[in-house]
Amino acid sequence: MNSWANLGFDLHVELPHGIGVRAALLQTLRDAIDSGLLKPGTRLPPSRTLALDLGVARNTVADCYAELAAAGWLVTRQGSGTVVASLADAHIRGTDPSPTRPRFTYSLLPGSPDASAFPRAAWISSARRALTAAPNDAFAAADPRGRVELRNALTTYLSRARGVRVDPNRIVISASSGHGISLLARALGGAIAVDSFCLHLHRQLLVDEGLRTVPISVDESGTCTEELASTSTRSALLTPTHQFPLGGPLTPARRATAVEWASSTGGVIIEDDYDGEFRYDRKPVGALQGIAPQQVAYLGTVSKTLSPAIRIGWMVLPDRLIEPVLATKGPYERWVSSTDQLTLADFIESGRFDSHIRKMRATYRRRRDQLVATLAQQVPQVRIEGISAGLHAVIRLPSGSEQAVLAAAQTHDLGLEGLSTFRHPDVSSVGGDGIVVGYSTPTQSQYPRTLDVLCEVLHAALR
């Protein structure tokens, strides 16, 4: 439709073409708020006025206002109309999991915790205590291994909570698990085995570092590690505790097969323990590294437990990889703030980290249960899998319907990712249709409405 519209004051916006009037108006208002054109506290024109200016139905505008209000962008006050929420900027940036991801009114994109649940007061307390006690060398050029205080704290935590066999000298701090994968890729070189369905961003990191990725099969029991012997690789990237994205834990037999392969070939298994702390209907599954510390390079991060904004990850390395990784990383710590490392060390040692994980484990379990119950009641024709642990679930769809669901999600301004996103490019379209739902991503107040929108999307695409 023709494009320029006056919103009742000296502000003009252009509705994008090709996505429908409702979606265009949602995107335009959201972008205007996010860019600062509509400041917090700005009063919007009445729905009737805006509808007349745009030449659309009043209900279209009213529905957009209601959805943006439910998501926290707008506030509707009796007698004073609709205004931009006073905390809109913080809300928007807090819920966007990555600057490269598009913004949505609703999001079930996997890979991010609830940003609103970050334990601000406890983190500030740890920061104050850590900085007060920090030695002078904490403010000088840093050791590329990372602060010894954090490595000591992680040694105790990882041994106790994840069954990792570790001492501080074998830990190297990184900026994230992706950073760790890049460093290991440079140290290892050659070809590397990866799951046929895995996190595409990590697979691309390997490719960017010059490695050839070789896909191996995945089923409900995790990675089919018996296929490793038939590859020409001497390294593999696995998610043994909770396969991403399909969700199965690696069975004991397949764990043994992977370790035997690495031992016999002199190979290395990169273990991404991305959400090992979150389990619901099963006993805790320890790290694979615990049974083969010289064959497994263990990766962890706070991006799922605390926030991806805290750029701290860690590697627990076999002895033979410590010096190559440090040589690749460089002589000084250029990636991770020393003061943030000291804060995290105090956060772990004070018990606040464990308390936060227990709290969020209960929260995400309730969300998982709510997702399962809602789908069973409203969309019983779909099947949900991979729900015994983690922060996401896979919703299996009728054959050929994945793209229709994603198109409907775009119309409803709902962030979703299809299962095909995670399929290795050298693998055929086997694996079925589905979507990967990150139920940890919305804020608690947004979650019920986000599930309603998900059901609306599924109904629209599958009817």
Q: What is the mean pLDDT of residues 182-190?
A: 94
CA-nearest of 364, 49, 316 to 180 is 316
What's the one-letter identity of residue 338? S
Q: Is the pLDDT of residue 3 over 50?
A: no
Q: What is the pLDDT of residue 80?
A: 66
DSSP symbols for 146-177:
--HHHHHHHHHHHHHHH-----GGGEEEESSH
Q: What are the tens digits of pLDDT across the range 323-365?
A: 999 999 988 888 899 999 999 999 999 999 999 999 999 999 9
Q: Is the pLDDT of residue 26 over 90?
A: no
Q: What is the mean pLDDT of residues 274-285?
A: 80
Q: What is the mean pLDDT of residues 282-287?
A: 80
The model's pTM: 0.77
Q: What is the mean pLDDT of residues 5-28?
A: 64
Q: Is the pLDDT of residue 233 over 90?
A: yes
Convert 284-315 to b/e letters by CB count within 10 Å (16 or more is b). Answer: ebbbbbbbbbebbbbbbbbbbbbbbebbbbbb
Q: Is the pLDDT of residue 1 over 50?
A: no
Q: Is the pLDDT of residue 79 over 70?
A: no
Q: Is the pLDDT of residue 182 over 90?
A: yes
Higher pLDDT, 253 or 24: 253
Q: What are the tens digits of pLDDT across the range 381-432?
A: 999 998 888 899 999 999 999 999 999 999 999 999 999 999 999 987 666 8
Q: Which residues pair with 186 in a beta bridge?
A: none
Q: Is the pLDDT of residue 7 over 50?
A: no
Q: What is the mean pLDDT of residues 84-104?
A: 52
Q: What is the pLDDT of residue 254?
A: 95
Q: What is the pLDDT of residue 8?
A: 44
Q: Which segments of 175-311 are extended strands (E)?
A: 191-195, 212-216, 218-219, 222-223, 235-238, 268-272, 296-301
Q: Is the pLDDT of residue 91 over 70?
A: no
CA-nearest of 207, 270, 211 to 236 is 270
Q: Is the pLDDT of residue 216 over 80?
A: yes
Q: What is the pLDDT of residue 75?
A: 83
Q: Which of 37-51, 110-124, 236-250 has the lowest mean pLDDT?
A: 37-51
CA-nearest of 449, 282, 307, 448 to 366 is 448
pLDDT band for 89, please (50, 70, 90 cuts). Answer: very low
Contact partners, residue 118, CB within 8 Å, separation at least 6: 306, 307
Q: What is the pLDDT of residue 373?
A: 96
CB 72 within 8 A of CB 85: yes
Measured distance CA(28)–CA(428) in Å, rounded: 38
**Strand-pair category, 191-195 with 434-437:** unpaired
